[in-house]
Amino acid sequence: MSGGQRSLEGKVGLITGSTSGIGLATAQVLAEQGCNLILHGLLPEDEGQSLAADFAAQYGIRTFFSNADLRQPESIHRFMAQGTEALGSIDILINNAGIQHTDSVADFPLEKWNDIIAINLSSAFHTIQQAVPVMAQKRWGRIINIASVHGLVASVNKAAYCAAKHGIVGLTKVVAIECAEQGITVNAICPGWVDTPLINKQIEAVANSKGLDYHEARYQLVTAKQPLPEMLDPRQIGEFALFLCSDAARGITGASLAMDGGWTAQ
């Protein structure tokens, strides 16, 4: 715990998919600033409760955990209601949970399409719909959608992912203009490659198809499109989200902010 004034003391943040990768790192960054947290991911209940207890003890915050499956709207509604009741509010909503599947559009399995649209896009509609009235009452709120560089540009074999991420960029803009007079900002962060478990399968696919070792495959995957020849650290996304929660960022809304090592500058 830091010794000085913590910038999010007393606030409540909800981060979907905060048991891994970007979500977990963002939870740590917010917790360091005293933010009480509604943690969420598909962990078994006992492991999730233990993660929440560890956060509470380490950062001196209040926590709540849910393993609601985001493919089911009624589970989302239940977990949002329970989390808000347990911690008293939702001031910061970070729609982060996401999955990936790569295949050509002709071969794309319907089940994967439906899951990606449900988890990467529709779940944000459901969480936003429940969080906005709570934030509007306080006339303060921060909604941050973790989109992707694939919300701005396309890559082959990512039909569902690109459709969902472009969709979340559109959703971000609409909610931003609807909520602008209520003290709520709504933005999307669009990362390039970030070092998390989500991309392992893609690295393995490059390694297998080109006969490369894991590290060379990883390097080739990153540098194929991203000028910065390294993956981002998940914590860098968390620090960016923290900035968007600050008073200095109150004029930033409806923006889709690339954090992509120059990918979309080309």
Asked if 146 touches ligand NAP (CB under 6 A), the answer is yes
**Residue 35 buriedness (CB in 10 A; 0-12 / 13-18 / 19+):** buried
Structure tokens at 20: 């891994």
Asked if 43 touches ligand NAP (CB under 6 A), the answer is yes
In order of 66, 154, 205, 217, 261, the CA distances from 226 in angstroms are 35, 13, 18, 14, 6
Whether 26 contacts 4, CB under 8 Å: no
Closer of 41 and 83 to ligand NAP (Cβ): 41
- Sole residue written with tokens 């002709």: 106
Q: Smallest distance, Å, CB 13 to ligand NAP?
A: 15
Closer of 7 and 20 to ligand NAP (Cβ): 20
- Please select the residue that binds ligand NAP; options are 13, 83, 98, 261, rule is CB under 6 A: 98
Asked if 56 touches ligand NAP (CB under 6 A), the answer is no
The angle formed by the CA atoms of residues 114, 155 and 242, to the nearest 5 degrees, is: 80
Closer of 42 and 180 to ligand NAP (Cβ): 42
Asked if 259 touches ligand NAP (CB under 6 A), the answer is no
For ligand NAP (CB under 6 A), the number of binding residues is 27
- Please select the residue that binds ligand NAP; options are 3, 44, 197, 251, rule is CB under 6 A: 197
Please identify, among the stretches 1-9, 77-85, 92-100, 134-142, the one whose residues bind ligand NAP according to the rule CB under 6 A: 92-100
19-38 residues near ligand NAP, rule: CB under 6 A: 19-23
Q: Smallest distance, Å, CB 194 to ligand NAP?
A: 4
Buried b (16+ CB within 10 A) or exposed e, 124-149: bebbbebbbebbeeeebbbbbbbbbb
Whether 59 contacts 1, CB under 8 Å: yes
Asked if 79 touches ligand NAP (CB under 6 A), the answer is no
Chain center to CA of 89: 19
Q: Smallest distance, Å, CB 136 to ligand NAP?
A: 25
CA dist 189 and 257 (Å) reads 5
- Please select the residue that binds ligand NAP; options are 29, 37, 70, 186, rule is CB under 6 A: 70
Chain center to CA of 103: 23
161 is a catalytic site residue: yes
In order of 60, 86, 136, the CA distances from 33 in angstroms are 10, 20, 23
| Catalytic residue numbers, as ranges | 161
Rule CB under 6 A: which residues touch ligand NAP?
17, 19-23, 41-43, 69-71, 96-99, 119-120, 146, 148, 191, 193-194, 196-199
